[in-house]
DNA sequence: CCGATATTTCAGAAATAACTGAAAACTCGG
DNA sequence: CCGAGTTTTCAGTTATTTCTGAAATATCGG
């Protein structure tokens, strides 16, 4: 590996972190490299930078594409594929969350739904099913919330996050004005349209 | 493994999922079992239920304790250790998030902070550092937000999540009333104390 | 302090995952 | 449709992780 010290530190770190993130070391290193690179890199650039085999890079890039984490680029008069991480880091974060949800959450939610259809045959099963119901309902609520949040544009999302826990005062406020909290929105005068509220 | 079908399905699923969650199969299975079990289990119960070696269970339980995901219990007149998952599933979720943050986010944040102190020696390093700065600032904001959210009690958190994206209307509202958005709260009349606002 | 019971440690075996080199497959310009 | 350049596939090797059995350590009632 032949990289400037700063970059090397970063790349090695992401290699090690990779395993905690469900990808192997090479994939982590490739992505770290693409992330900091000032322009798209081709597979041979990566081979040279990281000192791993060509086939390993090929597989790593394939995996990063499966995660939708890289963009394919081309240079005129050059047949090779060039790869780049999205310029906008928020795009990366959103993609990561989306993909991890798909891999780590959704399969469990499906399994829970199926399992909750079954009829318990024993007291143990009955209790187990009750616990699974709790888990299902919680994950269900979280994914609904996530679907809502995902739809908020980044700038607005940042503003909201910067409010931090102060956001929770909106509850006191709504309560004081006699808002009821309903998810479908049918009966909820929001702060935007209070006219129906008091 | 000798468990009722419903429970077996659940346990096997968590075993497979375990690898995507940074723990091995046995650890995933043990936790699934403890989660649905109607009462605390000792190590031999687990050995019997899962059909793995005693030492494997011992190591698995140790890891779950390192994650703070299990509670140690004792029965009168019985020297063995009994283990249980927290009754309140929200406690489990909060612990998981906390621990994953500790393992997956915090080390990267530290590394970024250190790396950003260094002086870039080339154009490549300069650009790389710029990207690292973006990453650092984003993670920093997210962890600040998380620290705020973590402090909100569960019931209130659930209410907020159920508002979904409607929560974002609070921004329009504040803006219309001429609120500025500042993190320290010094100059921000919240919806609770509007008197200083116009 | 003894012996019975319970838990942990750890070296080696087994299983799994990552990586490589060589060959196959694909893709263009000519 | 040929062939040079490029990417992908995959069988075999290497590295890593997980799991086990045996031994060591710890704990407790008597």
On whether residue A71 sits in a domain, the answer given is yes
User: Does one domain contain both B60 and B126?
Assistant: no
For A119-157, the pLDDT digits (tens) are: 999 999 999 999 999 999 999 999 999 999 999 999 999
Q: Does B162 contact A141 at a Cβ distance shorter than 8 Å? A: yes
From the CA of B111 to the C1' of D1: give the distance in Å.
55
Look at residue A142 and tell me if it is in a domain: yes
- Under a CB-based contact definition with an 8 Å cutoff, are residues B29 and B22 in contact? no
Cα separation, B138 vs A145, in Å, equals: 21
Q: Over range A181-195, report the average pLDDT.
A: 46
Q: Do B111 and A9 touch (CB under 8 A)?
A: yes
Q: Is residue B159 part of a domain?
A: no
Query: How does DSSP classify residue A78?
Result: E
**DSSP of chain B, one letter per residue?**
----HHHHHHHHHHHHHHHHTTS-HHHHHHHHHHHH-SS-EEHHHHHHHHT--HHHHHHHHHHHHHTT--EEEEETTEEEEEEE--SSHHHHHHHHHHHHIIIIIHHHHHHHHHHHHSPP-SHHHHHHHHHHHHHHHHHHHHHHHHHHHHTS-HHHHHHHHHHGGGGGHHHHHHHHTT----SS-TT---TT-GGG--
Residues B12 and B76 in one domain: yes
A37 and A21 part of one domain? yes
Q: What is the mean pLDDT of chain A?
A: 90
- Residues A32-77: pLDDT tens digits? 999 999 999 999 999 999 999 999 999 999 999 999 999 999 999 9
Which of chain A's residues have a Cβ under 8 Å away from the Cβ of B22?
20, 22
Which nucleotide has the least CA–C1' distance to A25? C18
Q: Does residue A123 belong to the interface with chain B, where contact is any CB pair within 8 Å?
A: yes
**Which pLDDT belongs to residue A1?**
83
Report the residue of chain A nearest B139, measured CA to CA.
A93
Say if strands A78-84 and A71-75 run parallel, antiparallel, or are unpaired: antiparallel
Which of strand D's nucleotides are less than 7 A from any protein C-beta? 5-10, 17-22, 27-28
The pLDDT of residue A52 is 98
* Measured distance CA(B187)–CA(B198) in Å, rounded: 12
> What are the pLDDT digits (tens) for B156-179?
999 999 988 788 877 777 667 665
pLDDT for the residue numbered B192: 44
B112 closest CA partner among B134, B85, B87? B134
Residue A187 pLDDT exceeds 90: no
Q: Does A159 fall in a domain?
A: no
Tell me which residues of chain B have a pLDDT lower than 50.
181-183, 185-198
Per-residue model confidence (pLDDT) at position B32: 98
Q: Which of residues 163-182 of A touch strand D (CB under 7 A)?
A: none
Q: How far is the CA of B81 from the C1' of C2 (A)?
A: 23
Q: Is A158 part of a structural domain of the chain?
A: no
Å separating the CA of residue A102 from the C1' of nucleotide D5: 37
Report pLDDT for A197: 39
Q: B149 — phi, psi (to 5°)?
A: -65, -40
Is B192 in CB contact (< 8 Å) with chain A? yes
Distances (CA, A) of B167 to A132, A160, A193, B181, B194: 29, 9, 14, 16, 19
Closest C-alpha among A86, A90, A41, A77 to residue A61:
A41
Cβ contact A69:A92 at 8 Å: yes
Given A84, A105, A127, the domain boundary residue is A84
Q: List the domain range (segments joined by +) for residue B71.
A: 5-84
Q: Name the domain boundary from A84, A107, A139.
A: A84
Question: Quick one: which of A5, A169, A57 has its CA closest to B159?
Answer: A169
Q: Are residues A97 and A114 in the same domain?
A: yes
What's the CA B79/C1' D27 distance, rounded, in angstroms? 9
pLDDT for the residue A193: 42
Residue range A165-181, pLDDT digits in tens: 788 887 777 667 665 54
Protein-proximal positions, strand C, CB < 7 A: 5-10, 17-22, 27-28
Q: Rounded to whole angstroms, how far apart are CA atoms B169 and B175?
A: 10
Measuring CA to CA, which residue among B79, B81, B69, B77 is closest to residue B32? B69
Could you give the C-alpha distances from B169 to A193, B65, B105, B174, in angstroms and in order? 10, 42, 30, 9
- The answer to whether residues B70 and B136 belong to one domain is no
Displacement of CA A156 from its chain's centroid (Å) = 18
- Section A15-36 average pLDDT: 95
> Both B97 and B145 in a single domain?
yes
CA A139 / C1′ D13 distance in Å: 43
Determine the length of chain A: 198
pLDDT at A179: 57
Q: Which residue of B has its CA nearest to A176?
A: B192
Whether residue B142 is found in the same domain as residue B98: yes
Assess whether A50 and A66 both reside in one domain. Answer: yes
Provide the domain count of chain A: 3
Interface test with B, best of A8, A126, A145, A157 (most B CBs within 10 A): A145
Please tell me the predicted confidence (pLDDT) of residue A67: 97
* Strand C: protein residues, Cβ closer than 7 A: A 19, 23-27, 52-56, 59-60, 79; B 19, 42-44, 54-55, 58-59, 61-62, 78-81
- Check whether residue A109 and residue A52 sit in a common domain: no
Q: Does B134 touch chain A (CB under 8 A)?
A: yes
How many whole angstroms separate alpha carbon A189 and alpha carbon B5?
A: 48
């Amino acid at each position: 590996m032949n990289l400037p010290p700063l970059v090397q530190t970063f790349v090695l770190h992401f290699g090690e972190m990779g395993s905690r993130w469900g990808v192997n070391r090479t994939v982590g290193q490739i992505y770290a490299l693409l992330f900091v690179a000032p322009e798209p890199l081709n597979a041979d650039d990566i081979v040279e930078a990281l000192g791993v085999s060509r086939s390993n890079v090929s597989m790593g890039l394939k995996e990063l594409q499966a995660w939708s984490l890289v963009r394919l680029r081309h240079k005129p008069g050059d047949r090779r594929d060039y790869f780049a991480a999205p310029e906008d880091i928020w795009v990366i974060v959103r993609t990561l969350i989306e993909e991890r949800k798909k891999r780590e959450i959704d399969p469990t939610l499906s399994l829970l739904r199926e399992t909750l259809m079954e009829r318990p045959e024993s007291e143990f099963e009955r209790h187990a099913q009750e616990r699974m119901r709790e888990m299902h309902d919680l994950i269900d609520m979280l994914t609904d919330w996530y679907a809502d949040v995902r739809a908020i544009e980044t700038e607005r999302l940042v503003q909201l996050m910067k409010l931090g826990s102060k956001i929770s005062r909106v509850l006191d406020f709504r309560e004081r004005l006699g808002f009821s909290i309903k998810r479908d929105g049918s009966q909820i005068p929001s702060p935007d349209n209070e006219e129906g509220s008091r």
